[in-house]
């Protein structure tokens, strides 16, 4: 019997969220891949052009990733919520990736109604990429930063995923 393996794919323009996602790797139960845009967004651009792109469902230009999805049973797709939508980098990833036969857990950094709306959008876009979005977990960024929450432990409680 092979061991279940989990991959966290995330995008964040926030250094603290990036650090928390990268810290998930140190527990040895999860592999981590950061989606990077080909240019750096400043906070002003995130709040203006980035939010408009997200709201319109647009994609940004991201660096290529070479992921062997056959090595993973579960994919966690993590994104900030911009204008009640996943970030444009997540849209780009979903438009260029075949997630057929992949179980996906959505992790959204946001709260309230906007996170619920973004979760519905993420589910639909995951389905268009061929994946099955088992669940969506919304986490307020302030809570993550304040409590230095370990994402993998949080997800195991909120959306049970297979451990390695």
Please indicate, yes or no, if residue 1 is contained in any of the structural domains.
no
Please indicate, yes or no, if residue 27 is contained in any of the structural domains.
yes
CATH number of the CATH domain containing 142: 3.40.50.360
Closest by Cα among 51, 47, 35, 43 to 86: 51
Please indicate, yes or no, if residue 126 is contained in any of the structural domains.
yes
Closest by Cα among 17, 131, 22 to 74: 131
The parent domain of residue 93 ranges over 6-158
SS3 162: coil
5-42 pLDDT per residue, tens: 889 999 998 888 888 888 887 767 789 999 999 988 88
Please indicate, yes or no, if residue 75 is contained in any of the structural domains.
yes
Query: What's the number of domains the chain is made of?
Result: 1
Place 140 in a pLDDT band, splitting at 50, 70 and 90: confident
Place 164 in a pLDDT band, splitting at 50, 70 and 90: very low
Q: Which residues contact 160 (CB under 8 A, 6 or more apart)?
A: none
Please indicate, yes or no, if residue 144 is contained in any of the structural domains.
yes
Beta bridge partners of 31: 7
Please indicate, yes or no, if residue 163 is contained in any of the structural domains.
no
Question: Is pLDDT at 149 greater than 50 in this prediction?
Answer: yes
């Amino acid at each position: 019997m092979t061991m279940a393996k989990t991959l966290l794919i995330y995008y964040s323009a926030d250094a603290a969220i990036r650090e928390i996602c990268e810290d998930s790797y140190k527990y040895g139960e999860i592999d981590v891949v950061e989606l990077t845009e080909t240019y750096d967004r400043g906070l002003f651009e995130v709040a203006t052009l980035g939010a408009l792109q997200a709201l319109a469902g647009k994609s940004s230009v991201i660096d290529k990733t070479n992921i062997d999805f056959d090595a993973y049973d579960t994919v966690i797709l993590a994104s900030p919520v911009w204008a009640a939508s996943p970030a444009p980098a997540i849209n780009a990833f979903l438009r260029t990736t075949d997630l057929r036969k992949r179980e996906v857990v959505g992790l959204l950094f946001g709260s309230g109604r906007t996170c619920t709306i973004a979760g519905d959008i993420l589910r639909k876009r995951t389905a268009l990429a061929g994946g099955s979005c088992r669940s969506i977990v919304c986490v307020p960024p302030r809570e993550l930063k304040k409590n230095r929450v370990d994402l993998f432990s949080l997800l195991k409680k909120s959306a049970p995923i297979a451990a390695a």
